[in-house]
Amino acid sequence: MSTGKLIVFSAPSGAGKTSLVHYLLAQPELQLEFSISAASRQRRVNECDGVDYYFIDNETFKKHIAENAFAEYEEVYKGNFYGTYKKEIERIRQKGKNVIFDIDVEGGLNLKKLYPEQTLAVFVKPPSVEALETRLRNRKTDTEEKIQERIAKAHKELKYENRFDTVIVNDVLEIAQKEAYKKVAAFIQMDLID
């Protein structure tokens, strides 16, 4: 029987959700395991297939959509699909671990819809769109066109924050980490008390 909880971290690109997820994964008492998403985009230099994402081409991704293999998926940017395999969630939950996700805003809401009682949906908010733009530029991983695309998408995604269970403003990383830890620990503890 699947018992693990689902912890969803969603945010506009550059808000710092990945940093928070990595911090939480390093806390063994939370019993978290990372859900590796499928992605049809090109792998970045520092990314590993099967660790950061399951990198597949668009044709394979569409085949998996037709096979109903995903709990959620979305074409996040034109020609770039991301999705969460159902079997990935079950693999982790069957070990009795809690599943932590680092996924886009719509994907996060779709998982919450699919597993409403078992999911804590956390929206990570940047202190401002200007701060977000600075972070994206400092990454030095995207073209100017891609940065502008991400900023335009961020404006839309920020409107979804009230649909999440909780919001963390990631201004000072250490403060956001403590807040994330408290919220996740409290949610997991609920299961132990029941």
For residue 16, which phi and psi values (nearest 5 degrees)?
A: 105, 15
- Take residue 192 and report the two structure tokens written for it: 């132990």
pLDDT digits (tens, 9 = 90+) for 104-116: 899 999 999 999 9
Say which DSSP state 97 is in.
Answer: P
What's the CA gap between 38 and 63, in Å, rounded?
13
pLDDT at residue number 2: 55
Arithmetic mean of pLDDT over the chain: 91
pLDDT at residue number 189: 84
Q: Which fold has domain 6-193?
A: Rossmann fold (3.40.50)
pLDDT digits (tens, 9 = 90+) for 114-154: 999 999 999 999 999 888 888 888 887 778 888 898 899 89
Q: Strands 37-39, 80-85: parallel, antiparallel or unpaired by DSSP?
A: antiparallel
DSSP sequence for 29-92: GG-EEEPPEEE-SPPPTT--BTTTEEE--HHHHHHHHHTT-EEEEEEEETTEEEEEEHHHHHHH
Instruction: Please say whether the beta carbons of 7 and 32 come within 8 A.
Output: yes
Sheet with 6-10, strands from edge to edge, namely: 32-34, 98-102, 6-10, 119-125, 166-169
Domain boundaries, the chain: 6-193
Token pair 């998408």 is found at 153
pLDDT at residue number 194: 40
pLDDT digits (tens, 9 = 90+) for 58-103: 999 999 999 999 999 998 778 889 999 999 999 999 999 999 999 9
pLDDT at residue number 3: 77
SS3 category, 101? strand
Any bridge partners for residue 49, and if so which? 53
What's the CA gap between 122 and 12, in Å, rounded?
12
